[in-house]
Each structure stands twice: as C-alpha cells, then as structure tokens.
Amino acid sequence: MDLNYSQEELAFRDAVRSWLEKNLPEDLRRKVANYEHLSKEDLLRWHKILAKKGWVAPAWPKEWGGTGWNVVQRYVFEEELGYAGSPPLIPFGLAMCAPVLLRFGSEAQKKRFLPRIYQGEDFWCQGYSEPGSGSDLASLKTKAVREKNFYVVNGQKTWTTLAHYADWIFCLVRTDPTSEKRQEGISFLLMDMKSPGISVRPLILMDGAHEVNEVFFDDVKVPAENLVHEEGKGWTVAKYLLGYERMNTGRIGESKRQLAQLKEFAASRIADFRFRDRLSRLEVELMALEITNLRFLDRMRRTGQPPGADVSMLKIRGTEIQQGLSELMLQAVDPAAHDDFSSSIGKKYLSTRKTTIYAGSNEIQRNIIAKMTLGL
C-alpha cells in the first residue's frame, strides 16, 4: 500500500493549484469563504469556466469530454477545488446521472444527454427520497405504469435538492408492485421537469434557505425511451450511483480550508484549553480521514474497481467533521455581533445539520458496514 504522492502527482497538484488561483473568480471565492448564498447563475458560471478548460468531468471517458486523468489525479483535482474555495460542482448531472448513463444507458441516451450535462445546458436533480422512504429507499411508492410508448407516473419525492433549478430529474419508480422483494420491481426513469403534471413546492430549512423541495407527479407521461437499463432493474442502477455519491462526501480539501480559516479566525480563543482540545481532536480526525481516503484511493488505483460498502466510513466521518467545524466556528463567533459574517456562520451551522442525513443517514451507513463489511 502506497499512501504517498509521486513527484509527477505533486507536480500535477501544483499545476492545478496555480490554475485555480488565476481563474477562480474572486467574487465567487469570496462568497464561498463567507458562506454566502450561491445562485444558479453562480453555480453555472463556474461550471462553464471548467467546461471551457476541459476539466468539468475528469472521470468521464475521453470520448465524452473526460480528461484522461488517472484516479489519483482526479482525487487531487477534487480536493484542490475544495481547498481553493471554489463553488461546488452540482453532482446530480456530472457525477451521478452521467456515470449511470455511461454504465447502463443506451447510445441514444448518451448522445442526447451527456453533451448537455457537460456544457451545463441541463440542470439535474435526484428523485430518490419520499415521505417515509428516505433511508429505507426500497420502500418507495411512486409508481410508473407502462401504457404503450409511455410510462404514467404518480407519486411524490421529497427533500429534492435544487429541484426548483432543475431541467431534468432522474427518478426511482416502482413499475412492478407485485414483486416479493422490495428491491425488485423498481425502475430508473429520466423525466423532463417541464412535463405536464410535475409540480415543485419549496421546503424552507432552518437556516431560511430554499434548497430542497417536494416534487409531485400527477399522471406524468414519460417516454419509454427514457428508461435507463432494464425495467425492474433500477435497484442495480441505484446501488451503483450511491457508491459514487458516498465516495465524494468526505470533502477533505474543503474541510482543510475551513480548518485553516477557523484557526485564523479563532486565534483569540486558542488560550481556552477546552476549545483548543476540541480543535486539536478535530484536526487529528481530519488527518485520519485523509489517510483512510488515500487507502481507498490506492485500492482503486491498483484494482480499477469502484469502492465497496466500506466506503460508508468516508461518508460518516467526513460529514461529522464538517459538523464539528461549523460548531467550533459558531463557538468562536462573538455572540453580541450582528454583522453579515456572524449571520452567515449561524446559517452554515444550521445547514450542516443535514450532512449526516443525506446520501443515506449515518445510522444506516453503520448498518451497511456491519452487514456488508463486518458480516454481523
């Protein structure tokens, strides 16, 4: 096992870092550093800058616009984005729907959707969670009935991130309610958000932000050609997608940047030994997470295989560290201050409460590790 970067990989990291310093717009960097709201236009502006450079989808095959970078280079690039403080690349199209299409999609689906995802022409969202079917995803009830060349979809999705921005949604739907096993009879559909019968209702979070939504489907007609993979085999697609989602939830580069910012901001609190102890513990946990991530990276580099169930470790610890950083930043803020930065810190704290829930709650992740990795 080799957890060190080669000289070539270090040179690559330095080149990426230098380019980001010169090309990340200062107003976007400032918004991220100050935890300000990022609009759809902000997100797409950065997406298109990277697309023009040819760096927006490093993991894609070269024939579809990928960079040809190896797994280590892709990891370094992602961590450098977080460390530089760039806006997030919204994953639903680039890192979730696209890998599914590349693995399971037809040639017609690839040609239709992948170029538009790459250029930021279509904004995607994810239709997985439902009322009562979040962590227990296999219990979903949104149904799709085949009628000639269409599926007619009825049901509801909830906590749908950025659905109010989205042009398209990829959805898990139940096409066979008679299957004995809940994981069977589920299919994976692509739906145009402008289709008649789709409505979006906002869910306002604790921090006052409109980020997630309820999405309702009332007799929505979806062309049968928008079925990905085989009917009734959507659970296979869903598991493939979730493996990629959880690999990217550690956000080590972003956490390292926030840790450095916290140290600078909280210099006056360092004399408080309780605060210093929590800060030190958090830094050690982040170092351990980075080493664990490098172990997964080395395995992928050697085998070429996607991560297994134990990738849930990254999701658990990564999101808990993100919460810990926001808690210490809030503790370091002057409670009497009423400036914009202090307000943003409070919103950041509230926003990070959800990190241990999305991509499968951490409680569920521990069950996955116990069952699939430890055999308990």
Task: Identify whether the C-beta of residue 64 lies closer than 8 Å to the C-beta of residue 112.
Answer: no
* pLDDT at 223 (0 to 100): 98
If asked whether residues 367 and 255 sit together in one domain, one would say: yes
pTM: predicted TM-score of the whole model, two decimal places: 0.88
C-alpha distance from residue 345 to each of 126, 340, 351 (Å): 28, 9, 10
Taking residues 104-111, report their average pLDDT: 98
* pLDDT at 306 (0 to 100): 62
> Reduced to 3 states, what is the DSSP secondary structure of residue 189?
strand
What tens digit of pLDDT does each residue of 197-243 get? 999 999 998 888 899 999 999 999 999 999 999 999 999 998 888 76
If asked whether residues 262 and 335 sit together in one domain, one would say: yes
Count of beta carbons in the 10 Å neighbourhood of residue 107: 7
If asked whether residues 259 and 358 sit together in one domain, one would say: yes
β-partners of residue 150 are 147, 223
What tens digit of pLDDT does each residue of 128-150 get? 999 988 777 889 999 999 999 99
Per-residue pLDDT band for 332 (boundaries 50, 70, 90) equals confident
Catalytic residues: 245
Q: Provide the token pair at 251.
A: 């956000």
Per-residue pLDDT band for 2 (boundaries 50, 70, 90) equals low
Average pLDDT across the chain, whole number: 90
Of 182, 207, 232, which one is at a domain's C-terminal end? 232
Of 65, 89, 113, which one is at a domain's C-terminal end? 89
**With 80 as the cut, is the pLDDT of residue 376 above it?**
no
Residue 111 lies in a domain: no
Q: Of 355, 310, 345, 93, whose CA–CA distance to 211 is shortest? A: 355
DSSP string, 327-347: HHHHHHS-TT--SHHHHHHHH
If asked whether residues 170 and 67 sit together in one domain, one would say: no
If asked whether residues 275 and 362 sit together in one domain, one would say: yes
* pLDDT at 336 (0 to 100): 63
Per-residue pLDDT band for 337 (boundaries 50, 70, 90) equals low
CATH number at residue 317: 1.20.140.10
If asked whether residues 129 and 227 sit together in one domain, one would say: yes
Residue 2 lies in a domain: no
If asked whether residues 198 and 268 sit together in one domain, one would say: no
CA–CA dist 88, 264 (Å, integer): 23
Look up the domain containing 11 and give its range. Answer: 7-89
Element (H, E) at 238: helix 234-247
What tens digit of pLDDT does each residue of 240-253 get? 887 655 556 678 99
Q: Which residue has the higher pLDDT, 4 or 185?
A: 185
210-223 and 227-228 strand pairing: unpaired
C-alpha 272: how far from chain center: 35
Residue 112 lies in a domain: no
CA–CA dist 197, 220 (Å, integer): 5
Q: Domain total for the chain?
A: 3
What lies within 8 Å, CB to CB, of 257 at 6+ separation is 82, 83, 84, 85
* pLDDT at 338 (0 to 100): 67
**With 90 as the cut, is the pLDDT of residue 370 above it?**
no
* pLDDT at 308 (0 to 100): 67
Residue 346 lies in a domain: yes
If asked whether residues 150 and 266 sit together in one domain, one would say: no
* pLDDT at 3 (0 to 100): 67
Residue 165 lies in a domain: yes
Residue 44 lies in a domain: yes
Q: Which residue has the higher pLDDT, 307 or 127?
A: 127
If asked whether residues 84 and 155 sit together in one domain, one would say: no
Residue 118 lies in a domain: no
Taking residues 322-327, report their average pLDDT: 94
Percentage of residues in the chain having pLDDT higher than 90: 62
Of 89, 112, 140, which one is at a domain's C-terminal end? 89
CATH number at residue 141: 2.40.110.10
Residue 240 lies in a domain: no
If asked whether residues 223 and 279 sit together in one domain, one would say: no
If asked whether residues 228 and 253 sit together in one domain, one would say: no
If asked whether residues 225 and 139 sit together in one domain, one would say: yes
